[in-house]
Amino acid sequence: MRAFTAVALTAMMFAYGARADDNVAYLAKVATYGAGIGDSAGAVWGGGMARLDSVTDGAFNPSGQQWNFDSVYWSGTQSGVTITLAHAALVSQLVLEADNNDDYHIEFLDQDHVWQGLTAVDTDSNPPGQNMYRGPLESPVVARAFRISASGDNHYSIAEFQALGAWVVDEEPVVLPVSPVDPLPVPEPASYLMLAAGLALLALAGRKNINW
HSE, side-chain direction, 13 A CA sphere, residue 144:
9
Which domains does the chain show, CATH number per domain? Answer: 2-173 (2.60.120.260)
pLDDT in tens, 102-120: 999 999 999 999 999 999 9
Instruction: Report residue 127: phi and psi, to 5°.
Output: -60, 160
The sign one gets for the Cα dihedral 8, 13, 16, 22 is positive
Entry field: residues in the chain: 212
What secondary structure, in 3-state letters, does 157-178 show? EEEEEEEEEEEEECCEECCCCC
- In which band, very low, low, confident or very high, does the pLDDT at 11 lie, cut at 50, 70 and 90? very low
**Is 190's pLDDT higher than 70?**
no
- In which band, very low, low, confident or very high, does the pLDDT at 44 lie, cut at 50, 70 and 90? confident
pTM of the model: 0.71
